[in-house]
Chain A
Amino acid sequence: MRITKIGYKTQRIILISAFLLVPLALLTTFSLYPALKLLFYSFTSFNGLTNVYPWVGIHNYIEIFSNPSLFGVFLHNLSYFIGGLVQNVLALLLALFLNSKIRFRNGFRAILFVPYILNSVAIVYMFQYLYQDPGVLDMVLKFVGLGGLQADWIGNDKLVNWSLAFVSLWEFLPFTMVIYLAALQSLPRDMYESAVLDGAGAWQTFRFITLPNLRSIIQINLLLTVSGALESFNIPFIMTNAAPGAATFLTQTMNVAFVFDNYGLASAMAVVLVVIVVIVISVQRKLIGQGDDVV
């Protein structure tokens, strides 16, 4: 109570300072300062091992943009990106079903959320087992009469990234779904009631009421999906040891840094990656429209 004797103006200054001091100190120490260091390394030929930082100017950036093979792996990231779009569509569909009149709704929701909370190393091990050649997945396909679809899920270069993208979808779809479900549950009922009174069908209510109202949520989910796809690392790294057919931009960056001792170039690649993510997300925001209250 005594604090109130200090005017709200002074209090304001004290509170803002006090509340932000520690968090900003942490943010600066562990995120901003390392980010600046990354930027600095990108202009050097630092090898990641000895503490020597020979300045090379924009040489690393020139090398990135004059070496098309460094960008080639983005084709692999594309699988994760498309997988991410599919993930959003499926998640929205499941959320719509769960939001309708349905039995065992909480049971369905509880089970469908489970993959998201499993340890990701454990998930990769499970799928490694399923994907063996010949393995469980092949047996199941044969069992349901789709034996013709049996394949070498990890070894075949044309398939491997889709197999891995599916693992990513399996792991992260539940979260996307729950976000959509939550958003659907918070849409006001009366909007739908008046729409039904006006004779709107299921598709029309979805198209003209649900979808527009979900715009900002769709945007935030896509943002997570896009940055996730561009930065995928764990799944290809643990599952295939980042073999050439499954390398992503980030696994390749780590390879340049630690196998080829070129931490400077790898830092430049990381900077380029962040810039690409920011550009893609800005474009996406332009396309889908505003909704700047989210993030």
Chain B
Amino acid sequence: MKRWLVGLSAMTGSLALLAGAGASVAAKTSNAGAIKGTITVLSNRTDMQANGMLAKYSKEFEKLHPGTTVKWETFVDNTTVQTQMNGGKYPDVMLILPTVTQSELPDFFTPLNSLTSLMNKIYFKNFQEYQGKVYGVPTFSDVNGVVYNKAAFKKAGITSAPTTLSQFYADCALLKKAGIIPIALNYSAQWPLGNWSSSLPDVIAGNANYMNTLTSQKDPFSANTPMGKALTIVDTIVKNGWAEPHFENTNWANSKVEEAKGKVGMMYLGEWAIPQIVVDGTPSSNVGFFPFPGTNSHTKPTAFLNPDWELAVNKHSTNIPTAKAFVQWMVLGSGYPNYAGGLPPVKGIKSTVPQIEQFESEAAIRQAVPNSAALTKLISTSEVDLTGGGAVQYVLNAPNFKAALQKLNQEWSNAQSLGG
């Protein structure tokens, strides 16, 4: 019996060797530098797979570079992609998962610095950079703000977008009075809550680096800190009944439809949500977008530009040249940033989205700063999910808001003392 087991593991071992050998042979024979052959590309857009847009991109790229084939893989759950990465089997062109830290980039991806024309034009190079090498480039950039239905505002008697927090609260009350759900939080989907704890605190602090300073702060969740103030705002919305009537049972897709219909007034998301609400049945001219007025100061509210999903090239890929060419084309040539309704991540190219033009006049737009490795680690150790919306869910779900903040402070300081 024991001998069998040994034999068995020897067998799997040799199979592994064979598989490994096959891969390395393939790597050697692939024609270095030539843009041809097949690549696989990862995408989060199941909708664009269903409506044929991804296939259209394949065709365009294949036409530009004859002899290439582009295959798409879509995913709905990060965990499967992460397991594939750990196992060393993942698509040639990847999206960088939020859990990958900067120092881990070289383990999985190949540097893109050789794409000089792209490197000279692109913003946000420092977001996925390690030891001077750039591993990821954004497909487009995002700016967070409030997407609102103009007709609903009009019906409630609101004539212009709020520029201070108290105006914002007053507008919520007006919308409610008019029988409109003032602001949909989308609690059930969890991720839409992330803005309140990862983006709004920076806005309130007026400091792009504020989130990174949390690692060294004592009690960052107390009510008087920018983080505490941000959480207080979302708590105030719920306490006043300005969110969905059953705010814990929400349907993200349905919220978009309701906002298109004007039954929901606002959502705190990003510019990318505008075209999605338009698709759900309202003219683009009816959808507005303003920077979140996090404070009562009368200067223009700050808004920070962030990279959306970033493209990277698998370092184990047998067709790196084609994969790199595809990344460059996707950012510069495909028109995807405009299709997605995002801001082009490229210097000198302006957005064609009218709402963003309006937004740019109302906000002081600045570039965001990537989360430091220390912050990411502390979030993991403390299990206070600031980026994914889990922490906001926790706070809203807690019977006592003050106690919930206390609990977060305690978990944060526990993690800090563990040397996070």
Contact = CB atoms under 8 A, between A and B. Distances in A.
Interface stretch (B174-182, B245-253, B290-298, B316-324): B245-253
B346 to A, nearest CB: 30
B12 interface: yes
A244 B249 contact: no
Nearest to B254: A132
Interface in A99-114: none
A260 B107 contact: no
Contacts of A17: 4
B104 A50 contact: yes
B254 to A, nearest CB: 9
Question: By DSSP majority rule, is chain A's interface helix, strand, loop, or mixed?
Answer: loop
Nearest to A151: B246
Interface in A236-295: 240-241, 243-245, 254, 256-262
Given A29-B8, A254-B79, A262-B380, A152 B100 contact: no
Which 5 A-B pairs have CB atoms at the shortest separation, nearest pair first? A155-B249, A155-B248, A258-B79, A155-B246, A152-B246
14 contacts: A21-B4, A25-B8, A48-B86, A49-B99, A132-B251, A241-B189, A244-B397, A257-B79, A258-B79, A259-B388, A260-B379, A260-B385, A261-B99, A261-B380
Contacts of A51: 86
A258 B78 contact: yes
Contacts of B5: 28
A204 interface: no
Given A24-B8, A259-B388, 7 more contacts: A17-B4, A25-B4, A29-B8, A133-B246, A243-B187, A254-B79, A258-B82
B206 interface: no
A244 B393 contact: yes
B190 A241 contact: yes
A244 B394 contact: yes
A13 B39 CA distance: 51
A243 B380 contact: no
A261 B104 CA distance: 13
Given A49-B86, A152-B248, A258-B99, A240 B78 contact: no
Interface string B316-337: 0000000000000000000000
Contacts of B381: 260
B285 interface: no
A260 B397 contact: no
B158 to A, nearest CB: 28
A193 interface: no
Contact of A28 (B8, B249, B250, B383): B8
Contact of A240 (B8, B79, B107, B188): B188
Interface string B88-105: 000000000001100010
A29 B394 CA distance: 40
A132 B21 CA distance: 54
A49 B100 contact: yes
Nearest to A63: B418
A156 interface: yes
Interface in A202-247: 240-241, 243-245
Contacts of A24: 4, 8
Question: By DSSP majority rule, is chain B's interface helix, strand, loop, or mixed?
Answer: helix
Interface in B156-215: 187-190
A154 B279 CA distance: 28
A63 B254 CA distance: 40
Contacts of B397: 157, 244-245
Contacts of A254: 79
Given A25-B8, A152-B246, A157-B248, A48 B82 contact: yes
A153 B85 CA distance: 38
B370 interface: no
Contacts of B37: none
A243 B385 contact: no
A190 to B, nearest CB: 47
Contacts of B248: 152, 154-157, 243, 245
A154 B202 CA distance: 33
Contacts of A28: 5, 8
Contacts of B246: 133, 152, 155-156
B275 interface: no
B307 to A, nearest CB: 20
B241 interface: no
Contacts of A241: 188-190
B390 A259 contact: yes
A198 to B, nearest CB: 54
Given A155-B246, A155-B248, A260 B380 contact: yes
B189 to A, nearest CB: 7
Contacts of B187: 243
B249 A154 contact: yes
Contacts of A156: 246, 248-249
A48 B85 CA distance: 9
Interface string B45-83: 000000000000000000000000000000000110011
A155 B247 contact: yes
A50 to B, nearest CB: 5
A25 B6 CA distance: 10
B282 to A, nearest CB: 22
B372 to A, nearest CB: 15
Contacts of B85: 49
Interface string B230-251: 0000000000000000111111
Contact of B188 (A29, A50, A243, A262): A243
Contacts of B86: 48-51
Interface hub of A28, A29, A156, A258 (most chain B Cβ within 10 A): A258
B12 A260 contact: no
Nearest to A128: B251
B107 A50 contact: yes
